[in-house]
Amino acid sequence: MKKILIADDDRAILTLLSYNFRQNDYEVTIVSDGKKAYDKARKNPFDLLLLDLMMPEFSGIEVTKKLRKEGNFTPILILTARDDDEMKLTGLSAGSDEYLDKTTPMKEIIVRAEGLIRRNQMYNQTASDSVSESLDESPATLVTDRLVIDFTKKEVTFDAKVLDLTKREFEILELLAKRQGEIISREELLQHFWGISDTAETRTIDVLISKIRKKLNNHYIKTKRGFGYYFEENET
């Protein structure tokens, strides 16, 4: 049975969400503020964290930042009453995996949650298989004159400095690097990481790409106008 932690200071929302997830065979834990959510997530394994944006003690974004900083990469879905694109991008940049308005139909919330859990399980299995296959080998890396991407350690070094990338930023860079030279559209990136391909959501990808580029001093990630992004290794 999948385990989910739901955090919201609105008792009615907690009741509604917990009921619907239990109806879909989830083991549900509920808390009413961000600090309790943070403490529970640190001490207990969950398949998904469903966090309200605005909560007492810690906001959903603060909980996300704290957990990601500690290396906890449990999928996080943030729910908010604020239909604010900038806040949505802030949440995604902080390391959350999905950000939905509370007016989103319950069926869609559950479908998005299922998608996040499924992709995380596939990601972990791939990482586990990679480690098993390379026990007696050097870690798989991409190395250029200025950039080193260690796909096993999930670490990126640029100009001899380890970069502070969020989980999602690393995953996007990893995908582009492993398929270097291949143009990947915004819609494909949305589908791959969030299970959606809505053109209206492509700004999310643009902002994340911009953040990665900034950390790489605008090297390596290129744009093919009207088509998408690609990774180019040959940098000077």
What CATH number did the domain enclosing 172 receive? 1.10.10.10
Q: Are residues 89 and 143 in the same domain?
A: no
Residue 13 has pLDDT above 60, yes or no: yes
Report the distance separating Cα 123 and Cα 102, nearest Å: 28
**7 pLDDT tier (thresholds 50, 70, 90):** very high
Q: Which pLDDT value is given to residue 208?
A: 85
Which of residues 57, 89, 123 is at a domain's end? Answer: 123
Which of residues 123, 149, 180 is at a domain's end? Answer: 123
What integer is the mean pLDDT of 166-190? 88
Q: What is the pTM of this model?
A: 0.58
Q: Are residues 95 and 63 in the same domain?
A: yes
195-211 tens-digit pLDDT: 665 554 677 788 889 98
Domain that holds residue 108: 2-123
Q: Which pLDDT value is given to residue 138?
A: 42
Q: Are residues 95 and 146 in the same domain?
A: no
Chain centroid offset of residue 50 CA: 13
Q: Which pLDDT value is given to residue 162?
A: 94
**130 pLDDT tier (thresholds 50, 70, 90):** very low
Higher pLDDT, 108 or 69: 108
Q: How many domains does the chain have?
A: 2
142-155 tens-digit pLDDT: 888 899 999 888 89
Q: Are residues 112 and 27 in the same domain?
A: yes
Q: Are residues 112 and 146 in the same domain?
A: no
Which residue has 């640029």 as its token pair?
A: 158
Which of residues 97, 123, 149 is at a domain's end? Answer: 123
Q: Are residues 119 and 146 in the same domain?
A: no
Q: Are residues 21 and 94 in the same domain?
A: yes
Here the CATH number for the domain that contains residue 35 is: 3.40.50.2300
In a domain, 9, yes or no: yes
In a domain, 131, yes or no: no
Q: Which pLDDT value is given to residue 135?
A: 39
Q: At what angle do helices 11-23 and 106-133 cross, to 10 degrees?
A: 60
Report the distance separating Cα 58 and Cα 55, nearest Å: 6
**121 pLDDT tier (thresholds 50, 70, 90):** confident
Q: Are residues 101 and 206 in the same domain?
A: no
Residue-averaged pLDDT of the chain: 83
The H or E element spanning position 170 is helix 167-178
